[in-house]
Amino acid sequence: MNEKINVAIVGYGNLGRGSELAVNQQKDMHLFGVFTRRDPASITPLFAQTRVYPDNELADLKDQIDVLVLCAGSATDLPEMTPALARDFNLVDSFDTHANIPAHFAAVDAAAKAGGRVAIISVGWDPGLFSLNRALARAVLPNGTDYTFWGSGVSQGHSEAVRQIAGVVDARQYTIPVEAAIAAVRAGETPELSTREKHTRLVYVVAAKDADTDRIEREIVTMPNYFADYDTSVRFISEEEMASEHSSMPHGGSVFRVGKTGLDGQNAQVLEYRLALQSNPEFTSSVLVAYARAAWRLSTEGASGCRTVFDIAPAYLLDMGAAEMRAELL
Amino acid sequence: MNEKINVAIVGYGNLGRGSELAVNQQKDMHLFGVFTRRDPASITPLFAQTRVYPDNELADLKDQIDVLVLCAGSATDLPEMTPALARDFNLVDSFDTHANIPAHFAAVDAAAKAGGRVAIISVGWDPGLFSLNRALARAVLPNGTDYTFWGSGVSQGHSEAVRQIAGVVDARQYTIPVEAAIAAVRAGETPELSTREKHTRLVYVVAAKDADTDRIEREIVTMPNYFADYDTSVRFISEEEMASEHSSMPHGGSVFRVGKTGLDGQNAQVLEYRLALQSNPEFTSSVLVAYARAAWRLSTEGASGCRTVFDIAPAYLLDMGAAEMRAELL
């Protein structure tokens, strides 16, 4: 008899591999397997014991799975996948297309309620743990100013935008927060900061052999939305240097709230939540897996419908009894 | 008709005044009044409209009050006060005598359940928001190491201990974290740190006119538990300097978890939650007041019994609807 939570992973890219690692760190969880749209025979999982299934077998196995961790993209996959699966499975996803969260929430909520399941959407660090700390800080300090800084870290979206430029073989874009801005906020100041004053961008490019690097640089730094509003540096490097120096996926950032208390608002109260991550996908999937535990537990209590991080009490996330938690962590 | 949450404050020291300020910042709350064991006529509240009652009138007014914010000490007051009031009132307290939390929880839980009320205990920043972030970090990164640093800030307990020494007229003790230790942890290292390696102590003393300052300094730095295990600096200052430079109550600190992910645990993931507070009591009471909202809301849903920060979903803390929260904060 297996009393552990049976977790299945849907999608086996960076997030899927991170979730495979994360489930194996959680003592109360058992990894049922990984589901992929690719040929399972073509996949070598990180752990030899991990079973790989074709995703069309998922529906037939629903009685053996307690909760799904969806490891697919927000752009095209999750808007269809999450509502389609939420009727039959408890699940978590990392949907992060901010403008579409209301519609995604409504679709997932309807499906989860119809099936009597619990879904937690938009889980990760931003949206996710950053959102949670924004909410906490706002609740405690209603008079205040919020700041979010991202980086230093790799932005996949910006890297991909550069790769579309003619003559670019490969590119990696780092988002870097402006340290002077962070220092001011950390000191309790509440500056008004333009886009340019908050972050800079650094792009490493592998150019094609006879490409015009001046033109490539100009196309990058003037690209609307992505780079034009920032101070951007471009460095041309070799394919070898790209592979050896820029293959990891660090990221991070800080959420601040500078609140004011006192009869005249004279006391600055600075709250900072800071992440420095050597592997962005491994951390994001670690958050997903902790919230998968909450989805499963809420489901065992009879709950159904869609949730976000705002709706989950911390106790649901931990593999620990309430009395033990009070004794060890309070 | 008053649709706001009617909040009453019990106890009117630093925390009570901080709560008076905090309730006035919350748009969905109305300050019913302050209850004190002193003569109400002897008290001048911060706001002219604040009503001050003798504490023996509290029981008679219970039908007009939605939730109490208890602003009394953990050493002698709260162990009796919280269980005594939890039968008739929803309430929050800041009980922080760690070893006695299990007994306090049990006594409050029994009373709150008997009366059908909700009590949230041990609310503030440590215990409180620090505990919450410790729990979150542990849930997400089961393989990791925790660190808590306090300060720079005034420790009331240590200041009071110094005031007991013969020849000391007044004293203020600052707890200061060792920056090198913080820097190492922030960089993803997991050093084993002794007490001395984590914090230093700085004591400002006003000595009596003909007191032996060498003896006072020796008595301070060798005092068991309070100072002997730390590198402690003692500075003798005038009464005037004490009044002008050391009358505020700053504090703060950082909670870290350095987690390891990856197949060989090769990726360090550093989480930091940091507070820099210009007024410790005003911040602590701001946290209490936000959790008072949660106690009241849980009560309106029919809940009863004792809770801690681990049991409260963030959404209960905010004066904001769920859809608005998802749109603005997620």
Residue B75: its pLDDT value, please?
84
- Judging contacts by C-beta atoms under 8 Å, the chain A residues touching residue B98 are 330
pLDDT tens sequence across B156-172: 889 999 999 999 999 99
On whether the CB atoms of residues B155 and B171 are closer than 8 A, the answer is no
pLDDT tens sequence across B260-319: 999 999 999 999 999 999 999 999 999 999 999 999 999 999 999 999 999 999 999 999
Residue B3: its pLDDT value, please?
87
What mean pLDDT do residues A166-191 have? 97
What mean pLDDT do residues B199-228 have? 96
Of the residues B5, B291, B307, B330, the best mutation for testing chain A's interface (the one with the most A CB atoms within 10 Å of its CB) is: B330
Of A27, A135, A319, the CB nearest to B329: A135
What mean pLDDT do residues B42-70 have? 97
* pLDDT over 90 at A79, yes or no: yes
* pLDDT over 60 at B28, yes or no: yes
- Judging contacts by C-beta atoms under 8 Å, the chain A residues touching residue B313 are 310-313
- Judging contacts by C-beta atoms under 8 Å, the chain A residues touching residue B92 are none
pLDDT band at residue A1 under the 50/70/90 scheme: very low
Strands A251-261 and A267-277, by their bridges, are antiparallel
Residue A156: its pLDDT value, please?
87
What mean pLDDT do residues A134-154 have? 97
ipTM above 0.85 for this complex: yes
Residue A68: its pLDDT value, please?
98
- Judging contacts by C-beta atoms under 8 Å, the chain A residues touching residue B139 are 290, 293, 314, 317-319
What pTM was computed for the model?
0.96
Of B141, B263, B330, the CB nearest to A308: B330
* pLDDT over 50 at A166, yes or no: yes
* pLDDT over 60 at A2, yes or no: no
Mean model confidence pLDDT for chain B: 96
Residue A261: its pLDDT value, please?
98
What mean pLDDT do residues A136-150 have? 97
Percent of chain A scored above 70 by pLDDT?
99
Residue of B nearest to A270 (CA): B276
